[in-house]
Every structure is written in C-alpha cells, then in structure tokens.
A and B are shown apart, each in its own frame.
Chain A
Amino acid sequence: MDEKNAPHIEELTRALGEVNKNRIRAEFEKLLAFRVPPEVAKESILRKFGGVQRTLKVNGLSANLKSFEITGRILELNEKLLRPQERGGEEVRGEVPEKSRDKSGCRSGEGDGESLDKGRKGASKLYTGVFADETGSVLFSSWKELPPAGEVIHVRNAYTRLWQNRIRLNIGDHSSVSKLPDSTLPSLSELARTPEKKLGEIGAADFSVSTVACVLQLSHRDVMVRGRQCHMISGVLADETARLPFTAWVELPGIDIGSIIRLEDAQVRMFKGVPSVNILKGTGISKPGSEDAEKLAFTFESVKTAPAPLKMEEVASRDGMFDVVIAGNVISVKPGSGIISRCPECGRVVQKGSCRVHGKVDGVRDMRIKAVLDDGTEAVSVMFSRELAEMIYGKTLEEAEALMFSDISKDAVYEDLRRILTGRYLAVRGNASKNEYGVSFVAESVWVPEADLAVRVVELLHRLDSLGAGNAQGLEDPNQGGCGQVHGPDYDSETADSTGGRGFA
C-alpha cells in the first residue's frame, strides 16, 4: 500500500512545497481508506492545501474568491478572543472585548504568552485589521497569529468573504503566512494614507477615501440612533465618473446644493453593492478655491444633467451602481408582475392573504412589473413601481383591476402585460445591485429612448468601410434594379436552406 502511494505523495509534496509530507500522507491515506480513488484524492488534497494559486492584488479582490496568494503590509492589527459557550457544547462564539494591538501601542508577543495559552484551551483568537498593498487596502480576519502591524507578509491560500456588505480578506486554518523583507512594499506611512479617488473608483475594497465632488442633493433629517435623537444630512455627491449617496453626521456649514467640496478620510459604507460616503467627525471638509475648482473635470452644470446610458455588461461588472441609465429590449415579463396585494404593516407582498411577518392581514392592492431587460451584452432584472408600471403598461391600477375581474383567467393582467411589453425597447434610470441571480435594477424613471438610428447607421457604415466591406457585386452593376437585398455567394451551401429540415433533435 505504502509503496503504491509513494509516487502520489511524492508528487503532492512537490506541488505543495511548504506543506509537511507526513500531513499529506495522513490526509491521502485517510481518503483512500474511504475508498476515494487516488486521482480524485490527489485533486482534493491539492485543493485543500492550494496547489496552483493565483496571485492577486488588493484592488483585484472580489467576494467569495478561493485560494489565492497575496502580499501586503499589515496597517492595523487587533485581536479578539472568541470563546465557544460552555453550556450544552453549543458552537456559539461569545466575544470578549477587543484588545488593541494597533501600530501605536504594539505589544510584543511574549507578553501575551499567558493569555494565549489560556485562550487555546477552549477559545480561539481572531485577528482583525487592515491589510494594504500599493493598489489599495482591505479589512482582514485571520485565525492565525500574525506578525505585528507594520510588517510585510505573504499569504498563501487566502480567501475572501462578504462581511457586512463588504469584502473581507480571510486567513484561515489552511492558509500559510510568511514574513517578507520590509523593502518589498511602500512604507507604512505611504500605504496608510487615505487614497484619493474619483467617485466611480470607490468600491467594496475601500473603507476610507478622500475625494472632491459636487453636492447634487441635500436634505436634513432627524433620526433615532440607539435611542438618541440625532441630526443627520443625507444627499447625493457627483463627479464626472459617477454619483454616490452620502450621509453626514456632522454639520456642514456653508455647504448646499451646487457646492463643490473636498473630503478627506471619509468613511465608505456598502449597501447592496453600492458604496455610500459617510462624513464623520474625523472627516476633513473644505471647499476648494475657485482656481482649483476650475481645474476639475466637472462643474455643477455638467453633473446635474442625466447620466449617459451604460452598456449592461458594464453595470454587471460592478457589485452595484447608484443612479445609472441603461436601455434594452424587454425580453421577458416575469411572473409576479401585475396586481399584487401588500401587507399594510410592512409593505411585503401578501400571498394567500397572509404576510410572511404579520400573518393574516387585509392586503392593500398595488401594481408592479418585474421585467428582464437585455441589450445583448447582459440581462438585467428591472423592478417597476406602480407609478412607472402604469406608465409603461398604459393602464391604471383601477383599469387593470377591472380587467382582472372581467376575465375568467386569473392571469389576465399578466397576459395583458406580456402582450403589451414583450419586445419593447425601454430606457430606465435607477440603482443596480448584483446578487446570485445576476443584476437587479430598481427603476426610478422610465422612458422610450429617441431613435437616433440615422446617426448610428452613418457611423456604422463608416466603420464597415474601414473594415473593408465593399458592396456586393450586384450593387456595382447599374443595370440591376434596386438597392435592396442582393445575395452574395452562399457561404455554406448545406445550411443555406436551413428551413428544409427539422431543426430540433
């Protein structure tokens, strides 16, 4: 048995370099004992310890990546003691107050020796902090002990998770961490500086940014936060790349709609993949001088106009986007569109007279449309509220209700919607967010875009000419009638008459 496995183990050891050979052998034999074929066992061991790994930079991280390599500097390090609760052996982890090991008050490892040992008995330690390379910084959690803040480390077999709506770098039990010489990355102070970013560049990997933007909307609100009355300001910021929502928990004297502001160390929060800028006590707020403002690539006038339509694939490449415009054909009207009834308490859709949260309720009638819009580059699921639904459907809720009661089929409104909407070309403006089923979009407004076809045709003909597409021979001949279809030679004679056969298997 041993001899037969020796080559496999040899191969695995070579591929996995740093992993102990005995450990590989133990894993391998365990799998074989369960009658796993050797080839499959090899694969799963390679996966477990991470064989060939991609090397990523911080700005290349996205949610739920598995086993990659990354190099960076630890900017901040905290440790948390997590203890499984004794009673009933439940695996619930209780948190013990954080003990800070920040760069300022970094204690050496030996001092903690005692508590470490104690901790190992029934509890595990979680190390959290900030990890950065020259491309950006990211929050991390580690189940392994890490060198103190300031050190450069190389992590193998790292993975990412979404935690509180943002990407978190995870260093788990199967990860390995090694220290690298200090000179491999820019210095701590350089990396710790808050990056200067355009709004369009802010993503889930940012947690603090500096930016210059224009205030597009602004409103004051009083909200209750943990039982205390708080005054807050919310609104929308814009520059030439994007628009983002913002909230301010401090007063913004002299700042109103149309002001251009410079923010330093503003906090970024994520909600449904859309970043929002948080202005807190520590955030530096200033107005750039008129000279600086002139150098900017945007003005209040330029950003307040409606954003230009994006290709859907562009929207799908982001986790979420705020206030964008897309346009495409209605490929499908989804079931659940039409007349619905909502819970008067919470607004959730009521099914069979019963709300998911409030039980039996008298539903309130409402109308909505869920449609799939597709522009050939991506498909996006778009939600239309009653107001917008009435607009594109061309019938009010009352008219639709009349139709529902006059027809025997309970799907009368849905069928009618499909007949009116399928195939139509619509443009929508609103917020996009990505989930496991693709991109979903909540429409704030909808319209039928103007057909700018003539302009596009001219441009396309021009592009075709540069590609060297001449007219077919027939068009060159003045004796042949019309400019309609002239068929060139059949490219593939067998398939030219594809109507001749049965096209399904």
Chain B
Amino acid sequence: MLKREVAKRVFAREFETCRALEMPVRAGGEKASSGDLKTPNLLLSPSGLVLNRVFVVGVITELDCVGAQNEMWKARIVDPTGAFTVYAGQYQPDASIFFSTVEIPAFIALTGKARIYEPEPGSVFVSVRAEEVNVVDEEIRNRWVVDTAEQTVERLEVFSDAVESGSRDEELLEYLLEKGVSGELAEGISLALERMRAPEEFTKLLGVFVKEALQALEFDSENSAGADGDRKEFVLELLREMDGGKGVDYAAFLEAAVSRGVPEELVEDVVRSLFAGGQCYEPRIGIIRLVG
C-alpha cells in the first residue's frame, strides 16, 4: 500500500538527536514485506519516535544561499527548544521559491523529510529537506507547540512505563502492544533502549524542555499576561501589608504568597523587578524592604 507518510510533530531538541534506523527483519509480521525499495529513510529518536516526514512551525531566523553550481537554500527555524536546519535545492522548487522571497523573521509552517549526514563516525548532522513551506500566524505556531508537546508527553509516558517494566526486546514489545501502544512506537522504544546512547537521561531532559516550552507559551499569550498582571498587583499588595515599613523576611513572605495560590516563580519575578526598579532593597541578607 502506497500510503502517504505521516508528518510527525517533534521538537528541535529531540530531532537533532535522531539517528538512522535500520529496520530489523520482522518474522511473520505483515510489515515484513515492506523492506522493499520504497521504504523511506527512517530515523529513530532517543524516546522511541520513528520518523521520516516532519511538520514544523517556528520562526525563521536565518537564511543563506549556499551551493556553488545550483541554488541551495539553508534556513534556520527556531522552536521553543532549539532550531531545525532546513535545506531546499533545485529538486524542491516550491520551497526554493518560497525561501527566495520570505522576509525574516517570520512564523513559518514547513513539511519536509528528515535527512541525516554523517561525514565521519561520531559526527552526525540531522536536517530537514523542505517539501512545502508557508507563512503562518502566531496562533498556528502556539497550537503546534501544544500539539507537539502533547504528542511528546504521550510518548514520554509510554517510554517511562517501558523503562519501569524492566523488560527488554521481544518481551518489552509484547508488554507495550498488550497495553495498546502502536506497533511503531513499541518497536521504536524497544530499539531506542537497545541502541541509543543514554536514552533515559535524554528523555528526562526532554521533559524539562517541553515544560519550559509550554511555560514560555503561557507568558506569551495575552490572557495569561492579564491574569499575571493581576497576580503581580496582588504580590505587591501583600508585600506592602507584611512590610509595615520595617521590612519582611523573604522566606516568610514567599511562604505566605504561595499559601495564597501565587506560584513561586511569579513571586520571585515580582521581587526581582522591584529590586531592578529600585523600589525595594535588602537591608540585611534575607530581609527585603519597600522603599518609601
């Protein structure tokens, strides 16, 4: 069946750690026959994602025309975790025309195929060869971040479950399939655990990156900025109340604010901006005092 390949959603940070995947010959399975010439070049990520085509929405920040004889565009597309390197050459005419006219920076949506280049052992370059590109708006970018985060989290959950199960190879495959995990992901995770370098450490790190990507998003959006403004006001009010002209113990203040439902980071943010603006100072270590 000549099915169109799914465009995977993946963050740059995970994409750049992908390695070429040679599919093992599966015995008896239906897919065993797909080892023919039409099999795409598959890549495997440390968290077990098997990919070839990807769909990326990000900011185009750099664009170069490289290549000696033929025109070849090289672009850098940034997402909240890192950057994708994208190429478009004479065999990608639509994408090339796009790159020759696009203004930088801009939000762009891009579909392309993952390429891997290994000039010498141990040095690997992963890039995207563009198929279709277009300028989009910020809302589509934000949705891509959330969609990609969602699919990454789903995968990380399965991965962590797989690690906890303690099984490997065939046994792990069976365990995952039993749980309703798709054959592709089950196989990907099993292979990642077997072949990738330190996949467990990477997935932990990836979780942190996804979290930061999502947090950065919320600070960007207007609604939450409004809500944050209110909460900042609240923090300042609370500080005035507790300060009483004599200063307040920072740890006690932090505790009081958190107990009223204000996130720690936000309290720190507000205090930092007060310091920066000269509105408060630290008469003794650990004590903060409002000016005036």
Residues of A within 8 A of B (CB): 52, 54, 313, 329, 331-332, 372, 374-379, 381, 418-419, 422-425, 436-438, 451, 453-454, 456-457, 460-461, 463-464, 467-472, 475, 478-479, 481, 483-486, 488-489, 491-492, 494-496, 498-505
Return the contact of A453 from the options B62, B146, B219 (Cβ within 8 A): B146
Complex contacts, A499 vs chain B, CB 8 Å: 62, 76, 83, 85
Complex contacts, A494 vs chain B, CB 8 Å: 122-124
Interface positions, chain B 140-179, Cβ under 8 Å from A, are 140, 142-144, 146-151, 153, 156-157, 160
> How many angstroms from the CA of A492 to the CA of B133 in the assembled complex?
29
Complex contacts, B153 vs chain A, CB 8 Å: 460, 463-464, 467
A376 touches B136 (CB 8 A): no
Residues of B within 8 A of A (CB): 1-9, 13, 16-17, 28, 55, 57, 62, 66, 74, 76, 80-81, 83, 85, 87, 89, 94, 108-109, 111, 115-117, 119, 122-129, 131-136, 139-140, 142-144, 146-151, 153, 156-157, 160, 182, 197, 201-202, 204-205, 207-212, 214-219, 221, 223-224, 265, 268-269, 271-272
B9 touches A376 (CB 8 A): yes
B143 touches A453 (CB 8 A): yes
B214 touches A472 (CB 8 A): no
Given contacts A456-B146, A483-B215, contact A374 B6 (CB under 8 A): yes
B221 touches A453 (CB 8 A): yes
A475 touches B149 (CB 8 A): no
B119 touches A483 (CB 8 A): no
The chain A residue with its CB closest to the CB of B72 is: A504
Return the contact of B117 from the options A372, A381, A504 (Cβ within 8 A): A504
Minimum C-beta distance from A12 to chain B (A):
18
Minimum C-beta distance from A440 to chain B (A):
11
A332 touches B131 (CB 8 A): yes
Minimum C-beta distance from B171 to chain A (A):
20
Chain A CB within 10 A, most for which of B127, B151, B153: B153
Complex contacts, A424 vs chain B, CB 8 Å: 136, 140
Given contacts A423-B134, A460-B150, A467-B153, contact A451 B271 (CB under 8 A): no
B147 touches A375 (CB 8 A): yes
> How many angstroms from the CA of A191 to the CA of B265 in the assembled complex?
64
The chain A residue with its CB closest to the CB of B267 is: A478
> How many angstroms from the CA of A377 to the CA of B217 in the assembled complex?
23
Return the contact of B55 from the options A376, A378, A456, A484 (Cβ within 8 A): A376
> How many angstroms from the CA of A467 to the CA of B205 in the assembled complex?
11
> How many angstroms from the CA of A499 to the CA of B2 in the assembled complex?
33
* 20 intermolecular pairs with C-beta atoms under 8 Å apart: A54-B28, A329-B7, A329-B109, A331-B111, A332-B111, A374-B55, A425-B143, A436-B1, A436-B2, A453-B146, A460-B149, A461-B214, A461-B215, A471-B211, A479-B272, A485-B80, A485-B81, A491-B17, A498-B126, A503-B126
Return the contact of B214 from the options A418, A460, A479, A496 (Cβ within 8 A): A460
7 residue pairs, one from A and one from B, having the closest CB atoms: A503-B127, A423-B109, A469-B207, A422-B134, A376-B9, A501-B125, A423-B136
Complex contacts, B3 vs chain A, CB 8 Å: 379, 437-438
> How many angstroms from the CA of A488 to the CA of B210 in the assembled complex?
12
Given contacts A331-B132, A457-B146, contact A491 B9 (CB under 8 A): no
A483 touches B216 (CB 8 A): yes
Minimum C-beta distance from A188 to chain B (A):
33
> How many angstroms from the CA of A313 to the CA of B8 in the assembled complex?
12
> How many angstroms from the CA of A475 to the CA of B208 in the assembled complex?
11
A485 touches B212 (CB 8 A): yes
B5 touches A453 (CB 8 A): no
Complex contacts, B117 vs chain A, CB 8 Å: 501-505
A503 touches B87 (CB 8 A): yes
Return the contact of B6 from the options A378, A483, A491, A505 (Cβ within 8 A): A378
Complex contacts, A457 vs chain B, CB 8 Å: 146, 149, 214, 217-218
Complex contacts, B221 vs chain A, CB 8 Å: 453-454
> How many angstroms from the CA of A486 to the CA of B215 in the assembled complex?
12
A496 touches B16 (CB 8 A): yes
> How many angstroms from the CA of A483 to the CA of B28 in the assembled complex?
51
Given contacts A464-B211, A467-B160, A504-B115, 20 further A-B contacts (CB under 8 A): A372-B4, A376-B148, A422-B109, A437-B1, A437-B4, A438-B3, A456-B146, A457-B149, A463-B157, A464-B210, A469-B208, A475-B212, A481-B272, A483-B215, A484-B216, A485-B81, A492-B16, A494-B123, A494-B124, A498-B125
> How many angstroms from the CA of A453 to the CA of B139 in the assembled complex?
10
Given contacts A372-B4, A438-B3, A451-B142, contact A498 B127 (CB under 8 A): yes
A331 touches B268 (CB 8 A): no
Complex contacts, A418 vs chain B, CB 8 Å: 94, 132, 134
Complex contacts, B182 vs chain A, CB 8 Å: 313
